[in-house]
């Protein structure tokens, strides 16, 4: 199989780091115990490995195509989508009231990872549908929920999110699409939306577009944007929304990225969701879920690239070992630098996975914990982690997929090998659903400054406790982790202080370091999870020595090769004289 | 223009950092003064910008194609190649005895950079021809030199290097191609060579393949490999070497990468170069030049990506400034994180350029200095620098071209934008002519251990002098550089010591850190050049305040955002308990 889901590592993280037992104790999640998790993950692994993974390369070679307004998807995708929805995979974490299965995010997340690892292009269709469902559940009327959600869950229809316009990418204040109210309470929409993922295709009977637009008297800027449902078909009749082209992209080629034209033939019929001018607010609620999901895409493509590189490194024989232990050439996995590359890929993937699953558990606790204050606390931690999971995991995926190519040597550059596809596919991840800079601005502005760093300090205190717990363990691996996590903790502490203390008087200095701060937070929080994993491994080692020893060795590698970067990032953030270095050149000197 | 050669920065580096005046004082280089350099660079900039740069995107969209053994190149390439050779650009640094122009490498290098920045795929053809010329001049008979070199210089013929076979990539000991001696002193060759750059095409009358092969009684391994000339046409008759396919690649698509079949129809006629079994030795001499050239490719593609990103960032208007200085959206170059990305691209490009040009000057001094001991000294420094220029500059180019995509946001992922092509093209650079790991092994094994670190210590002593010189300068920029370069110097010192002291007793530990050591050396030596550039800028500031202030600001950015990584690399190399972390997992635990 070209992809084997790492079910053991996933279950380890869920149980030992993310507290699956605590989640299963929440009201409404009583069935979500370890046995359920194992069963769901095994079934998902089977489906993703057998059905979706083999279609991945096909999607790259025979991408979706556009002709006369119609998009034809890669052969095999429609069938796979029917199997996917028939298997209930779309409805995993959605509420039972609308025919969902109501599983916690902690169980849905590994399934999401498998889905994306097996076929990133395919996975985007259900991911966007998830986003539409989330928006409808958040702000839709009961009638709208009943009308759309069950059809979206069953896969008869799919959903999209229409935000971007040619002049409005990161800056949604610039959205121009118009929505004119009609006598019957509906609206007519006019405008152009670009970069609409799965905006047109042949896998479902209808496509439910959720569209940001302005009503005639709306205020300028982000406070005048409303959210509308614009279905491709309304009551069986074709609506005036048309796909005028799809993009020719670097990667995720099977996923059609549509330019949608609304209202060129009299106006596209749309229905307001929630209240006027609150569209961006609804989008932001949904966007936390979408951004988290894109972060998981980063982890997924990293794992896929890792698996392929390992397989090649075990098979390819080249050169004698540097320590003279053999006169014959050996499999390249025996060479220290190949081992270093594979260990880097593995350590980064495991750390980012652990952090994402822990974030998912916070989300579940924020939704279902009986105590309101506890819910609010977990919500705050989840919201702090979302931009890190999104930004850090996707930036990592660029490094990991690049190393995947490098392990393959010259073969990595040949498209037929397949390693290059992951490298190309991954490149969109730090861009869409908000670039890394947008995530970093969110982390600084909304997630760190708004509460004066309270959540960040709580996390730092927990990291300090883990550092203390490492002291009791013997051996070089634990000693390395204790030392490096302690240094890294100080680096993050200093950076959080810098952000909190300087944001008002010198915003340029703080935002010049916002992406380094996001990366630093990712490295340290990921390292913290690896440290917790080591401690769990020490406790449980005798149950499965090979698995737990590998976990400890991977954590040691992370401590010695990833955590030391924390101090360098701190220097860039804190010691760089208020962004003077970043802003030292005037625009015309570039 | 889509590419404007940075002639000012190039001339600054040549004069102030690489010592152009000293080179022009060498016997045989009397004409290579600043005026000559300026004239050659201006002319090269014009040709590359006007003729080659516009063809670059065309080469990506209409790559070379193969049909029935023939390769048709991208429309426009043949004409451009005629202009290129007619302009004398192939003969720049080759000796006048064979109709070359005999210019120093220091002047040829910026021209090489321009050539590659304007069109990486195109540039590979003359680069491989350079390699063939170098091999012939090194080891060919006078008759061979006369027969081939002038034709290669004039562009009537082109050259290739045939090393790789399916089972023999990094490990040339595994080469199997056979060469059977014939009664007339020639040989018949049989075998398959892969990854042969410009191995077949329609731009020249003949192609001179230089081929590694084994004679019947040759010893096994690398000591039994000889080097042969195998022309596509011999005396007007088609030789038995045929292109059976070309590769479908991630990037540099206009450059045909051929599978060549030798001897399927009775044997390909070949001529031995130099002595039997010394082929690899000749290749290594030539390879220093080829590896240096690939390093320059990394700098070139970085600069091209930088220029494109700057142009987009100045033009694209999106979002208000974070410091509240405007209520209107501004060009994205005004946003701190975009500035950080562009500054990173710029600082890495300038530092790697400076290091490469300084290396070129050492090469010229090694060739032409009247004193033999001085020549040997410069040769040793040049050889130490080559794997760093190759490995570090090409690894950097991955980061720089990736940032180039990121600056473009969603547009960066659309192929028509062009930023993605640089990202794809660059990916081969850390692989071909020896992967980064191979460069790092060379840096450790041949360049650091063989002389017990003497050259490395010489360079460290010079860096320490530069740190001292920074003390006399006032201002935060110089203070940052002094502090960070001093830390970085210590990190490199500790790493060199670690390598020298541990290579024999613990080779795995040393080679587990070989790529980090190469990157560390690149970061520190590049930072050293930026520090020297600051000092020169302080001296000359009044002549051109805008240029020199920008140089100082870029150097400050490098000090604060690149040099801090040195300490992290030192930890990975030195403190990582003898590679325990890298080698902690057994092969079957991956």
**Tokens, residue A149:** 């959600």
CATH architecture, range A7-155: Orthogonal Bundle (1.10)
What integer is the mean pLDDT of B517-542?
98
Higher pLDDT among residues B322 and B424, named by residue: B424
The pLDDT, as a whole number, for residue B584 is 87
**Tokens, residue B525:** 């030596």
Nearest to A585 among B323, B343, B436 (CB): B343
The pLDDT, as a whole number, for residue A377 is 98
- Looking at chain B, which residue has its C-alpha nearest residue A405? B427
Smallest Cα–Cα separation from B434: which of B195, B169, B253?
B169
State the Cα–Cα distance between residues A249 and A233, nearest whole angstrom.
Answer: 28
pLDDT tens-digit series, residues B373-407 = 999 999 999 999 999 999 999 999 999 999 999 99
Q: Name every chain A residue with its beta carbon within 8 A of the beta carbon of B564.
A: 567-569, 571-572
**Cβ contact A170–B415 (<8 Å):** no
pLDDT tens-digit series, residues A511-548 = 999 999 999 999 999 999 999 999 999 999 999 999 99
Contacts of A584 (CB under 8 A, 6+ apart): B343, B477, B552, B553, B554, B556, B557
**Inter-residue long-range contacts of B329-334, CB under 8 Å, 24+ positions, other chains counted:** B329/A171, B329/A173, B329/A174, B331/A587, B332/B407, B333/A587, B333/A590, B334/A587
CATH architecture, range B7-65+72-138: Orthogonal Bundle (1.10)
Calculate what percentage of chain A has a pLDDT beyond 70. Answer: 99
State the Cα–Cα distance between residues A496 and A501, nearest whole angstrom.
Answer: 8
Nearest to B402 among A335, A398, A435 (CB): A398
What integer is the mean pLDDT of A74-98?
96
What integer is the mean pLDDT of B333-352?
97
**Cβ contact B322–A441 (<8 Å):** yes
**Cβ contact A413–B249 (<8 Å):** yes
Nearest to A170 among B249, B318, B435 (CB): B318
Nearest to A561 among B337, B441, B581 (CB): B581
Contacts of B216 (CB under 8 A, 6+ apart): B178, B180, B181
Beta bridge partners of B237: B234
What integer is the mean pLDDT of B179-183?
98
Q: Point out the least confidently predicted range of A127-131, B111-115, B571-575.
A: B571-575
Nearest to B247 among A414, A550, A561 (CB): A414
Q: Name every chain B residue with its beta carbon within 8 A of the beta carbon of A409.
A: 169-170, 431, 435
Class of the domain covering A159-277: mainly beta
Longest dimension (CA), chain B: 85
What integer is the mean pLDDT of B222-233?
97
Domain locations in chain B as residue ranges? 7-65+72-138, 159-277, 439-580
- How close A31 gets to chain B, by Cα (Å)? 33
Local confidence band at A581 (pLDDT 50, 70, 90 cut-offs): confident
What integer is the mean pLDDT of A40-65?
98
The pLDDT, as a whole number, for residue A198 is 98
* Helix and strand numbers, DSSP H then E, in chain A: 19, 12
**Cβ contact A556–B415 (<8 Å):** no
**Cβ contact B249–A333 (<8 Å):** no
State the Cα–Cα distance between residues A119 and A55, nearest whole angstrom.
Answer: 7
- Looking at chain B, which residue has its C-alpha nearest residue A564? B568
Q: Name every chain B residue with its beta carbon within 8 A of the beta carbon of A323.
A: 507-508
Write down the catalytic residue from A433, A560, A570, A580. A433
The pLDDT, as a whole number, for residue B284 is 84
- How close A354 gets to chain B, by Cα (Å)? 18
Contacts of A588 (CB under 8 A, 6+ apart): none
The pLDDT, as a whole number, for residue B577 is 62
- How close B145 gets to chain A, by Cα (Å)? 32
- How close B372 gets to chain A, by Cα (Å)? 34
The pLDDT, as a whole number, for residue B140 is 97
Is 70 exceeded by the pLDDT of residue A121?
A: yes
pLDDT tens-digit series, residues A429-476 = 999 999 999 999 999 999 999 999 999 999 999 999 999 999 999 999
Contacts of B515 (CB under 8 A, 6+ apart): A337, A340, B391, B436, B437, B440
Is 80 exceeded by the pLDDT of residue A491?
A: yes
What integer is the mean pLDDT of A84-102?
94
- How close B325 gets to chain A, by Cα (Å)? 11
- Looking at chain B, which residue has its C-alpha nearest residue A565? B568
pLDDT tens-digit series, residues A147-193 = 999 999 999 999 999 999 999 998 999 999 999 999 999 999 999 99
Residue from B516, B576, B581 whose CB has the most chain A CBs within 10 Å, to mutate: B581
State the Cα–Cα distance between residues B458 and B450, nearest whole angstrom.
Answer: 15
- How close B277 gets to chain A, by Cα (Å)? 19
Local confidence band at A243 (pLDDT 50, 70, 90 cut-offs): very high
What integer is the mean pLDDT of A29-52?
97
The pLDDT, as a whole number, for residue A578 is 61
Q: Point out the least confidently predicted range of A151-155, A572-576, B10-14, B421-425.
A: A572-576
Is 70 exceeded by the pLDDT of residue B578?
A: no
Complex-level ipTM beyond the 0.90 threshold: yes
Is 90 exceeded by the pLDDT of residue B286?
A: no
Local confidence band at B581 (pLDDT 50, 70, 90 cut-offs): confident
Smallest Cα–Cα separation from B487: which of B391, B570, B378?
B570
Residue from A391, A514, A560, A573 whose CB has the most chain B CBs within 10 Å, to mutate: A560
Residue from A193, A312, A337 whose CB has the most chain B CBs within 10 Å, to mutate: A337
Q: Point out the least confidently predicted range of A574-583, B532-541, B542-551.
A: A574-583
What integer is the mean pLDDT of A364-375?
98
Fold match between domain B7-65+72-138 and domain B159-277: no
Local confidence band at B197 (pLDDT 50, 70, 90 cut-offs): very high
Is 70 exceeded by the pLDDT of residue B312?
A: yes
State the sign of the Cα–Cα–Cα–Cα dihedral B23, B26, B28, B34.
positive
**Cβ contact A324–B414 (<8 Å):** no
**Inter-residue long-range contacts of B412-417, CB under 8 Å, 24+ positions, other chains counted:** B412/A427, B412/A431, B413/A247, B413/A249, B413/A250, B413/A251, B413/A427, B413/A428, B413/A431, B414/A247, B414/A248, B414/A249, B414/A250, B415/A248, B415/A249, B415/A250, B416/A248
pLDDT tens-digit series, residues A257-304 = 999 999 999 999 999 999 999 999 998 878 888 999 999 999 999 999
Q: What is the CA radius of gyration of chain B?
A: 24
**Cβ contact B577–A560 (<8 Å):** yes
**Cβ contact B174–A427 (<8 Å):** no
Nearest to B583 among A336, A346, A432 (CB): A336
- Looking at chain A, which residue has its C-alpha nearest residue B342? A590
Residue-wise DSSP of B181-228: E-TTS-EEEEEEEEEEET-S-SSSSEEEEEEEEB-TTPPSGGGG-EEE
- How close A88 gets to chain B, by Cα (Å)? 32
Q: What is the CA radius of gyration of chain A?
A: 24
Q: Name every chain B residue with its beta carbon within 8 A of the beta carbon of A424.
A: 250, 424
The pLDDT, as a whole number, for residue B583 is 84
Is 80 exceeded by the pLDDT of residue A576?
A: no
- In total, chain B counts a number of residues equal to 590
Provide the 3-class DSSP secondary structure of residue B455.
helix
């Amino acid at each position: 199989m070209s992809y084997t889901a790492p079910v053991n590592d996933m279950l380890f993280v869920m149980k030992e780091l993310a507290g699956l037992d605590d989640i299963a104790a929440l009201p409404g999640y009583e069935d979500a115990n370890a046995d359920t998790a194992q069963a769901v993950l095994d079934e998902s692994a089977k489906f993703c490995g057998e059905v979706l993974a083999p279609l991945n390369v096909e999607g790259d070679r025979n991408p979706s195509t556009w002709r006369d307004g119609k998009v034809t998807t890669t052969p095999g995708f429609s069938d796979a989508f029917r199997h996917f929805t028939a298997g209930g995979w779309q409805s995993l974490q959605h509420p039972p009231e609308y025919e969902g299965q109501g599983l916690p995010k902690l169980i849905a997340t590994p399934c999401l990872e498998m889905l994306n690892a097996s076929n990133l292009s395919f996975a985007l269709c259900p991911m966007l549908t998830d986003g539409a469902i989330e928006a409808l559940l958040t702000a839709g009327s009961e009638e709208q929920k009943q009308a759309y959600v069950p059809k979206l869950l069953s896969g008869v229809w799919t959903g999209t999110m229409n935000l971007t316009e040619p002049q409005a990418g990161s800056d949604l204040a610039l959205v121009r699409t118009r929505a004119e109210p009609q006598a019957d309470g509906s609206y007519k929409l006019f405008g152009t939306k670009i970069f609409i993922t799965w905006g047109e295709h042949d896998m479902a009977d209808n496509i439910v577009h959720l569209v940001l637009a302005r009503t005639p008297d709306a205020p300028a800027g982000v406070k005048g944007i409303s959210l509308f449902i614009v279905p491709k078909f309304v009551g069986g009749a074709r609506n005036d929304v048309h796909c005028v082209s799809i993009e020719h992209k670097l990667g995720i080629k099977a996923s059609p990225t549509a330019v949608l034209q609304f209202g060129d033939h009299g106006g596209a019929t749309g229905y307001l969701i929630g209240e006027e001018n609150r569209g961006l607010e609804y989008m932001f609620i949904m966007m936390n879920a979408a951004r988290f999901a894109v972060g998981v895409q980063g982890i997924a493509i990293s794992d896929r690239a890792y698996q392929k590189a390992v397989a090649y490194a075990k098979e390819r024989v080249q050169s004698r070992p540097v320590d003279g232990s053999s006169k014959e050439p050996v499999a390249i996995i025996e060479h220290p630098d190949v081992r270093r590359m594979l260990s880097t890929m593995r350590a980064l993937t495991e750390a980012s996975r652990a952090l994402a699953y822990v974030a998912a558990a916070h989300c579940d606790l924020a939704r279902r914990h009986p105590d309101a204050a506890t819910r609010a606390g977990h919500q705050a931690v989840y919201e702090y982690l979302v931009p890190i999971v999104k930004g850090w995991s996707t930036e990592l995926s660029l490094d990991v997929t690049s190393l995947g190519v490098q392990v393959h040597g010259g073969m990595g550059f040949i498209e037929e090998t397949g390693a290059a596809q992951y490298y190309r596919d991954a490149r969109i991840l730090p861009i869409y659903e908000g670039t890394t800079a947008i995530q970093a601005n969110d982390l600084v502005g909304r997630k760190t400054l708004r509460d004066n760093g309270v959540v960040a300090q709580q996390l730092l205190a927990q990291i300090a406790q883990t550092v203390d717990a490492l002291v009791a363990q013997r051996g070089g691996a634990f000693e390395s982790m204790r030392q490096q996590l302690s240094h890294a903790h100080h680096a993050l502490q200093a950076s959080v202080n810098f952000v909190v203390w300087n944001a008002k008087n010198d915003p340029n200095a703080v935002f010049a370091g916002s992406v380094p701060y996001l990366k630093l937070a990712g490295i340290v929080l990921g390292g913290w999870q690896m440290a917790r994993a080591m401690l769990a491994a020490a406790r449980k080692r005798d149950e499965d020595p090979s698995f737990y020893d590998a976990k400890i060795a991977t954590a040691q590698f992370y401590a010695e090769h990833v955590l030391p970067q924390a101090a360098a990032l701190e220097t860039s953030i804190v010691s760089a004289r208020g962004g003077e270095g970043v802003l030292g050149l005037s625009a015309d000197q570039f």
